[in-house]
Structure formats: C-alpha cells, structure tokens
C-alpha cells in the first residue's frame, strides 16, 4: 500500500491505539493535518500548544496510556517545551509529533525553523528527527515503546514537511526487535539476593516507614503496596506524586511528607530506622537538607530507573526493577523469611475517637512505634483557623469540595499554595485521581491538565483546584473545553496574590512584598469564564461555598469556573524552610506550644 | 596532567547516528559531570561508534555517571576501565620552533621517546608521538623548553588489559 509520510504517520498512531490527540496546525505540519479528516482519532484543537502538552499529560496521568500532542515547527514546537520538561520531571508518558521545515531547508534559518530535537534533548527520554518517510512506522512504534516502558517519559518525533509529503510502502513492525533500539532494554525483575536482604532488614526494623512515590502509580502497584503494608503493619507516607497510591483513609497511611507535609509524615521519616523507598526519588522537597534527612535510617530503595539508586541517598539495599514486581517479590521473600502471612493491619480497631488503634496486632515490636506515631497525629494534625466570620479560608473550600464531590473525583492543580492545600486536605483514596505538576512546578498546569483528564475519564467528575496566578497563565484553554464540550470544573482559590511567593516574602524576606500582588477583580473571573463559554460563579462568604459547589457539580454540559475570594493572609503549614533540616519543621502558630 | 584515582575511563559503545555525540556531551554538561578527554571513532561494525571518555570522578560518583549514560537510548554498552585495568594510548602532534643549532637535540629527544618527525620546515619541526598518557605528558614537558608553536593531543583511547592466565585444557579443547 502506497501512502504519503503524513498518511503513514496518522495510520501509525491509529495502529498504536491512539484514540485522541491534542494539537494545533501550522505550516510545516500541514500535510499531517489532511489525513486527520478521515482518521478515527479524535483531534482536540487547542488555543496554545502548551495547552496541548498539558492536556496530553492529564490524559496520560489518569489513563496510564501515553498522551499524544501534535504541533507545527518553530514556535509551535517551542511552545510545547514546558510540557515536555514537566512530563520528563514527573515521568509521564507523552508522544509529541512536531512538524519541521523541509530537510533541504534545515540549517538555513528557514521560516519557522527551530532545532527542536536539539532543544528538547535534555527534557525528553529520547527524540527522533525523521529523515525518510520509510522510517515513520518504525519510529512511531519505537517512540511509544520508549515512552511507555521502563521509567515512562516524554518523547518527540520531528517530521520535516518533505518527509510528510513523500511516498512510502506501508508496513508495521511486527516485534520490538524491528524497532532498531539496540541500546534500550529496561529492567523489570529485582535481583533476588537484594530482595532477600531487604526482607531481612524489614523483619528487624523497629521504626520502619514505607516511602511510596509516583512510581507505585506508574507501575500499577497499588494493590501490591497495600498487601505489603498490611502484612508488615508498616506505616506508609505518600509523596506529592504518589498521593492516592495508598488510601489516605487507611489506618496505616500517614499522608504526605516533605516541605509542606504533615508533622507525623515528616517526623516519622526523621526518626525512622528503616525507609523503604518505593518508586520515590529522595527529591529535595521531601528530604529537606539531605545531610540531616532521616539520619538513623537504613534505606531500601526500589526504582525502575537504576540511576535513581544512590543518586541522592546511599541505600543499604538498592533494587532496580518494576515496583509492582519487586513488591510482590518482597512479599514472597518476607513470607519465606518467616513473617506471618496473615494481613495484620487494615484490621486496626477504630478507637474511641474514630482513629484506628495499632494496626500490627501481631507485630508487637512495632507497638511502641505506632504509639509514637499516634501521639504525633493527635498533637499535630493538619490545622487552620476556621472561619471567623471573615474571609473564606482556602482550606475550607478544599474540604467542602472534597466532601461534596464523588469519592473518585479527579483533582488537578497548578503550583503554589492551592496545590499544597489540595494535596493536604483532599482525601486521596483512589489511584490516578491526583493530577499535578510535581517535579517541574509548572504554574498554569491545572486547567489544561484537567481538560485532558476529563477527555481520558469522561465518566469521572474532574475538578481543577487552581490559583488566580496559575489560572491567568493557561485559562484560554477553557475555550477549547467549551467548544469541545469537555465539562471540567475549576475552583479558583483567588487570594489576589502569587500566594506561595507572598508566603516566602512574609516569612523569609521581612514582609517585603515584591511583585506578588495581582488584584482580586482584575480580571473579572466570572465575566471571563462566561466569555469563554463556561458558567461563571463567584463566592465571597463561607456560607456560599457549599451551595456554589453543589450547583457546579450539577452542571454537566459545559465547564464551570468558581471564583472563590479567599483569605490572602492564609499560609501553608507545616513548612520546612528551604535548605533547612526536616527537624526544623514549622507548624501552625496555634500548635507551636505543643512543640516546646 | 595529574594522574590517579581522579580519572576513570569509560569506553562507550554507541549507535553511529547523527546527534549521538551531542546527546552524550549534553548529558555530561547538564548533570554537572566533567569530561577530561574524549575520543570518538567508528568501530569495525559500521552501525556503532566507540566513545572513549576520561571522566573526572570527583565531579560525580562514577556509578551515577555510568547509570545516567546508560539511560541514553543510543548508548549500547559501557565498559568501565579503572586506569590499572586498561591499556591506554594517546597521540600527540606538535610543531616546535627550532633554530638549526637545536634541531639535532630535538630529533634526538624524539628518538629517545620513540616518536617520529613527520614534517620539516626551515625553522620548524612537526613531531608525532603515540604512547601512554604519562609518557606523552613527560614528552610534552620536555618539548616545552623549545618553544611549541602548536600542539594537539587526541585524547585517550583504551581497551581492557588481557588476562595472563592460560586457558584451561577444557576451554582449549
């Protein structure tokens, strides 16, 4: 079958099982847009290429399938650099197709030329400049293989216009061997000797903590993690990228560690004698000052990327492998080494306060540890001052949203205070329901990511919890959502500031506020929402919060934006100051006396 | 050139494709690893090239350098050669300004080191020397007393040392 390169590209994407792609056409990619008219693939026309990239990320994060975006050369391609960088940091599988000027014009500074494979070399798992139409099917197959196996990540395929227009004989590679990837072979199984050593360490630990990250979600290892936790009775912390990989409402879940983690999660790691790091990477936002992070802990580190092992913290036992497979191997090794196979926890008896008791009934060695953990939880729960009849508290908005929305609601967020409050106060009981920008910290992520998530899971309610600063960066994609009938819901926690920066200036720059004020009503978010074809609502008092959310949850034919006017003075607590030891955790001022 | 534990040699087999060297060099720069020297050439198989990198292991732990390199899709295999486990060679070309009175001294020096005079001008000589890095260092130092006009070194190439053990009867049979 003779096809043009462009037809072969679209056919390759179809063969790969792509159901939707996000993009915006332009000169160099024009040939590829023509066969899209006949394709089974749904194309969603974005308003800015950054939106296409973040939508593809949101789609990938909730479906586990690679997100696909398509852009033209030059500025089209550079506009998607931020999403590529974001996906690279958060290990999100993404396939971006970019147009390129004709091969003969490459290197001549032609109109809309940009060396995008050069630009994205350091922020993609791999990229390809396709030189011949014959290479297209093989390259597309290789791109999906690389993006989705091993540690997932973004890839880019750059297709010059003459390659799209050239003729080729259609084929489809029948096996991985035909993909021409002699240097690519990700590991899966863990080294059995290391797994047995890890099991031995786990059996003798007195203050263990399972430190579960985004890798658990990527590996579809949530059930395995739950079994491991319940058999061992070990407490579990879930990182910002791992929220939802172990249910927040499980009695063994301590919640999020890190710079804005809760006191118990942070301090449990500091006092731990054994950290079992599963698909987590000792990010600086988790460790604080590395030299004083978990100083007494031995470390078992499981990661599919061997380069993460020992990168930040030396591990007593380092295991390269797929998280699900290695956790299952660990469970077997623990059973073989004499751990009672009976699930120990989840069985925690709810105490008088509704708080479960010590979960590991058959692991008396852990009793003391659990008593300590429960004391910390009692003394230092997440805390904010409730409504004093004044400004709406942003934390209260998150709690109300959580309580009034279905349990499996997908939550997207941007980056800043609202992101931390969302992560702290939402109850993540389901995997793949938290869509946020962790490693890169990309402001403006929420709106397009929520749209992509809703496209991937149209059956779910999708809320974006956004800041007013973030919203202004990518809000135009709500036009896309309205036009394409993608009914996402956006809660703007509008405190009229770049709030996180404001918080740092208040705490660490002597309240010298430099370039952080945004204004609560410029722009008018309700008018803006309406102009973009959404329903716009405004909430100015605590009593209006629940009714507005109820109203938004009932709208299912178009996007909704709620402008919550929230307290500009509210800060995120606890907080570990940048570069400080986690021992220097700052709790809410009202709890401070408990520390002394 | 201070030799010793600071440097390690990585012999990296890569796909012979456009942009691969940029990927390797880019990785070193963005991860903050220091390259001491680098030599690239095709191998006996046209699909592959070999990059010999002398790495400054004080800039980053060797294991981290190797693991990050191994993640590059175009990197096929990495052989890590500790200095005492490798046979290393480097080539030096140098043009030296010599007046006729000194010429014979320089030619003698080249002879002592087993080098070769490859080009002769009215008041200049171009000299070639191949050898281990220490020998090249010594030679360069001695040449310096004569006014070096231009000097170029290739960077090291290396292969693992062969074992001296005799093959067993079974293996030989």
* Residue A179 touches partner B, C-beta closer than 8 Å: no
Same domain, B75 and B91: no
In this model, does residue A534 exceed pLDDT 90? yes
Residues B11 and B66 sit within 8 Å (Cβ to Cβ): no
Same domain, B116 and B45: no
A473 catalytic per annotation:
no
pLDDT tier for residue B59 given thresholds of 50, 70 and 90: confident
pLDDT of residue A520: 96
Same domain, B62 and B123: no
- Which secondary structure element, helix H or strand E, spans residue A277, and what is its range? strand A274-278
DSSP string, A346-403: S-PPB-TTS-B--S-TT-GGGHHHHHHHHHHHHHS----PPP-SSSBPHHHHHHHHHH
The number of folded domains in chain B is 2
Mean pLDDT value of segment A447-475? 98
Q: Of B61, B81, B101, which residue is a domain's last?
A: B81
Q: Is residue B169 part of a domain?
A: no
In this model, does residue A286 exceed pLDDT 70? yes
Same domain, B100 and B68: no
pLDDT tier for residue B82 given thresholds of 50, 70 and 90: confident
* Residue A126 touches partner B, C-beta closer than 8 Å: yes
Same domain, B97 and B121: yes
Mean pLDDT value of segment A487-508? 97
CATH number for B68: 3.30.70.260
The tokens for A105 are 């014009």
**HEC sequence for A416-438:** CHHHHHHHHHCCCCCCCCEECCC
Same domain, B116 and B74: no
* Residue A305 touches partner B, C-beta closer than 8 Å: yes
Q: Is residue B173 part of a domain?
A: no
Q: Of B81, B116, B136, which residue is a domain's last?
A: B81
Q: Is residue B164 part of a domain?
A: no
pLDDT of residue B137: 94
CA closest to B76 among chain A residues: A183
Q: pLDDT tens digits, residue range A46-71?
A: 999 999 999 999 999 999 999 999 99
Same domain, B128 and B154: yes
Q: Flag the least confident range among A131-145, A151-165, B57-71.
A: B57-71
Q: Is residue B107 part of a domain?
A: yes
Mean pLDDT value of segment B4-30? 91
DSSP string, A490-507: EEEEE-SB-HHHHHHHHH
Mean of the per-residue pLDDT values for chain B?
89
pLDDT tier for residue A340 given thresholds of 50, 70 and 90: low
> Are B73 and A306 an interchain contact pair (Cβ–Cβ within 8 Å)?
no
In this model, does residue A437 exceed pLDDT 80? yes
Q: What percentage of chain A carries pLDDT values higher than 70?
A: 95
> Are A121 and B75 an interchain contact pair (Cβ–Cβ within 8 Å)?
no
**What 3-state class would DSSP assign to A244?**
coil
Backbone angles phi, psi at A223, to 5 degrees: -65, -40
In this model, does residue A225 exceed pLDDT 90? yes
Model-level pTM greater than 0.90? yes
Mean of the per-residue pLDDT values for chain A?
95
Q: Is residue B166 part of a domain?
A: no
pLDDT of residue A355: 40
> Are A182 and B47 an interchain contact pair (Cβ–Cβ within 8 Å)?
yes
Same domain, B55 and B116: no
In this model, does residue A570 exceed pLDDT 80? yes
* Residue B162 touches partner A, C-beta closer than 8 Å: no
CA closest to A182 among chain B residues: B76
In this model, does residue A357 exceed pLDDT 50? no
Backbone angles phi, psi at A43, to 5 degrees: -105, 130
In this model, does residue A356 exceed pLDDT 60? no
**Selected catalytic residue, list A168, A500, A532, A575:** A500
- For A10-32, letters b (16+ CB in 10 Å) and e give bbbbebbebebbbbbbbebbebb
Contacts of A42 (CB under 8 A, 6+ apart): A19, A20, A21
pLDDT tier for residue B171 given thresholds of 50, 70 and 90: very low
Q: Is residue B170 part of a domain?
A: no
In this model, does residue A187 exceed pLDDT 90? no
pLDDT of residue A346: 42
Kindly provide the ipTM of the predicted complex, given to two decimals.
0.89
Instruction: Single out the residue of B89, B87, B158, B152 nearest to residue B143, CA to CA.
Output: B152
Rounded distance between C-alpha atoms, residue A273 and residue A283, angstroms = 19
pLDDT of residue B173: 36
Same domain, B105 and B148: yes
pLDDT of residue B167: 61
Mean pLDDT value of segment A75-91? 98
A/B interface, count of CB pairs below 8 Å: 44
Rounded distance between C-alpha atoms, residue A205 and residue A541, angstroms = 50
Same domain, B41 and B70: yes
- A121 vs B23, B47, B63: nearest CB: B23
The tokens for B108 are 């003698």
Mean pLDDT value of segment B125-153? 94
> Are B22 and A118 an interchain contact pair (Cβ–Cβ within 8 Å)?
yes
Range of the domain at B50: 2-81
pLDDT of residue B58: 82
pLDDT of residue A360: 45
Mean pLDDT value of segment B139-154? 93
- B73 vs A146, A305, A306: nearest CB: A146
CA closest to A183 among chain B residues: B76
Q: Of B48, B66, B81, which residue is a domain's last?
A: B81
Q: Is residue B120 part of a domain?
A: yes
pLDDT of residue A595: 62
On chain A, the residues whose CB falls within 8 A of the CB of B14 are 183
pLDDT of residue A559: 98
In this model, does residue A241 exceed pLDDT 70? yes
Same domain, B48 and B92: no
On chain A, the residues whose CB falls within 8 A of the CB of B15 are 182-183
Same domain, B66 and B21: yes
Q: Is residue B141 part of a domain?
A: yes
In this model, does residue A348 exceed pLDDT 80? no
Q: pLDDT tens digits, residue range A295-327?
A: 999 999 999 999 999 999 999 999 999 999 999
Q: What percentage of chain B carries pLDDT values higher than 90?
A: 71
CATH number for B133: 3.30.70.1150
In this model, does residue A496 exceed pLDDT 60? yes
A500 catalytic per annotation:
yes
């Amino acid at each position: 079958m003779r096809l043009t390169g462009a037809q072969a590209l679209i056919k390759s994407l179809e063969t790969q099982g792509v159901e939707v792609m996000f993009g915006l056409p332009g000169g160099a990619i024009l040939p590829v847009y023509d066969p899209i008219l006949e394709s089974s693939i749904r194309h969603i026309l974005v308003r800015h290429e950054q939106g296409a990239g973040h939508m593809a990320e949101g789609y990938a994060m909730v479906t586990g399938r690679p997100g696909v975006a398509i852009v033209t050369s030059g500025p089209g391609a550079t506009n998607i650099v931020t999403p590529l960088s974001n996906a690279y940091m958060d290990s999100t599988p993404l396939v971006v197709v970019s147009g390129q000027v004709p091969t003969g014009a490459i290197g001549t500074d032609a109109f809309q030329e940009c060396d995008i494979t050069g630009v994205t070399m350091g922020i993609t798992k791999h990229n390809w400049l396709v030189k011949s139409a014959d290479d297209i099917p093989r390259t597309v197959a290789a791109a999906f293989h690389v993006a989705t196996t091993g540690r997932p990540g973004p890839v880019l395929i750059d297709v010059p216009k003459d390659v799209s227009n050239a003729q080729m004989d259609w084929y489809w590679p029948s096996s991985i061997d035909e993909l021409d990837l002699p240097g690519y072979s990700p590991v899966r199984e863990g080294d059995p000797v290391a797994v047995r050593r890890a099991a031995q360490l786990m059996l003798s630990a007195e203050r263990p903590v399972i430190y579960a990250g985004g890798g658990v979600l990527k590996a579809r290892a949530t059930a395995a993690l739950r079994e491991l936790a319940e058999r061992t009775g070990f407490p579990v912390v879930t990182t910002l990228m791992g929220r939802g990989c172990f249910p927040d409402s499980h009695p063994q879940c301590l919640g999020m560690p890190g710079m804005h983690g809760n006191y118990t999660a942070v301090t449990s790691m500091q006092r731990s004698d054994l950290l079992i790091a599963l698909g987590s990477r000792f990010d600086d936002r988790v460790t604080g000052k590395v030299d004083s992070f978990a100083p007494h802990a031995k470390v078992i580190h499981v990661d599919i990327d061997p380069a993460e092992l020992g990168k930040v913290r030396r591990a007593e036992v380092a295991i390269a492998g797929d998280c699900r497979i290695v956790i299952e191997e660990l469970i077997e090794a623990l059973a073989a080494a004499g751990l009672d196979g009976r699930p120990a926890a989840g069985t925690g008896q709810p105490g008088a306060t509704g708080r479960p008791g010590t979960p590991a009934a058959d692991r008396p060695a852990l009793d003391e540890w659990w008593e300590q953990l429960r004391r910390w939880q009692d003394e230092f729960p997440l805390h904010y001052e409730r409504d004093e009849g004044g400004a709406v508290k942003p934390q209260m908005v998150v709690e109300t949203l959580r309580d009034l929305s279905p349990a499996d609601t997908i939550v997207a967020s941007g980056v800043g205070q609202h992101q931390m409050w969302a992560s702290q106060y939402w109850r993540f009981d389901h995997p793949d329901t938290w869509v946020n920008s962790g490693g890169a910290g990309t402001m403006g992520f929420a709106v397009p990511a929520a749209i992509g998530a809703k496209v991937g899971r149209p059956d779910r309610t999708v809320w974006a919890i956004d800041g007013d600063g973030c919203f202004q960066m990518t809000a135009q994609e709500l036009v896309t959502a309205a036009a394409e009938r993608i009914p996402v819901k956006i809660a703007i926690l509008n405190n009229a500031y770049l709030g996180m920066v404001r918080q740092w200036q208040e705490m660490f720059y002597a309240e010298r506020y430099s370039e952080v004020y945004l204004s609560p009503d410029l722009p008018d978010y309700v008018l803006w929402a309406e102009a973009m074809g959404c329903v716009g609502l405004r909430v100015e008092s605590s009593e209006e919060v629940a009714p507005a959310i109820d109203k938004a949850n009932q709208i299912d034919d178009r996007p909704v934006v709620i402008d919550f006017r929230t307290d500009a003075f509210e800060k995120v607590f606890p907080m570990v100051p940048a570069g400080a030891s986690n021992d220097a955790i700052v709790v809410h001022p009202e709890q401070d006396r408990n520390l002394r | 050139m201070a030799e010793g534990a600071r440097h390690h040699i990585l012999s990296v087999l890569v796909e012979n494709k456009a942009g691969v060297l940029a990927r390797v060099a880019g990785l070193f720069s963005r991860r903050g690893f220091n390259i001491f020297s680098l030599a690239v050439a095709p191998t006996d198989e046209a699909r592959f090239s070999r990059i010999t990198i002398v790495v400054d292991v004080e800039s980053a732990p060797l294991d981290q350098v190797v693991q990050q390199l191994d993640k590059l899709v175009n990197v096929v295999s990495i052989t890590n050669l500790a200095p005492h486990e490798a046979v290393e060679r480097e080539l030096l070309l140098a043009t030296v300004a010599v007046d006729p009175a000194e010429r014979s001294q320089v030619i003698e020096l080249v002879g002592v080191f087993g080098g070769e005079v490859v080009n002769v001008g009215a008041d200049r000589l171009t000299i070639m020397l191949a050898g281990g890095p220490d020998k090249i260092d010594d030679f360069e130092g001695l040449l310096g007393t004569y006014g070096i006009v231009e000097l170029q070194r290739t960077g090291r190439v290396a292969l693992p040392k062969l074992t001296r053990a005799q093959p067993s009867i079974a293996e030989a049979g």
